Amino acid sequence: MFNQFKNYFFDKKISYIKNYQIPLHVLEDFHEKTQIQQNEQILLIIKGLKLFFIMCLLNKGNKIPVVMSSKYIDELWHSFILDTKEYQKFCRHFYHDIIHHIPAKKSIITLEMIENNQLLWKKMQEVNIIDNHLKGLQYIDAIIEQKSFSID
């Protein structure tokens, strides 16, 4: 019974993240910084940020942090953090705390952190939070850059 109760609230938190509308001014700030114009690319980056927040939720209580592995998602996160009141409200709603941004230098990212990200990704696939065709947040950059340079 307790697990059903716990799962119900977890599912509600996941639903909140998935359905959350990132404020327009945050998206405008992101656009100014990146010049990404294609809607499908922006939607993919928004989806990636939401998946990152779900990874943080799954990882809550773990001493190994979730690694941000996409420069585009990270840039959207920076734009979101600048709206401190909305960002705090969003985080507290599903996480009951703020998800702090810790600058990650490639030199301090450990194998343990990468393996933790992979484990979290696998968990999300197992419970159908993500599509199986998306292999990880780090691949979003390649998808964006490939589409930015494709010739129609």
pLDDT over 70 (residue 80): yes
Please report which residue ranges of 20-70 form alpha helices under DSSP H.
24-34, 39-59
Q: What is the pLDDT of residues 88-119, one digit of tens each?
A: 999 999 999 999 987 766 668 888 998 999 99
Q: What is the pLDDT of residues 142-151, one digit of tens each?
A: 888 876 544 3
pLDDT over 70 (residue 15): yes
Q: What average pLDDT score do residues 12-23 get?
A: 95
Residues 2, 10: Cα–Cα separation, whole Å: 12
CB 124 within 8 A of CB 130: yes
Residues 70, 95: Cα–Cα separation, whole Å: 22
Enclosing domain of residue 40: 2-148
The count of domains in the chain is 1
Q: What is the pLDDT of residues 18-60, one digit of tens each?
A: 999 999 999 999 999 998 888 889 999 999 999 999 999 999 9
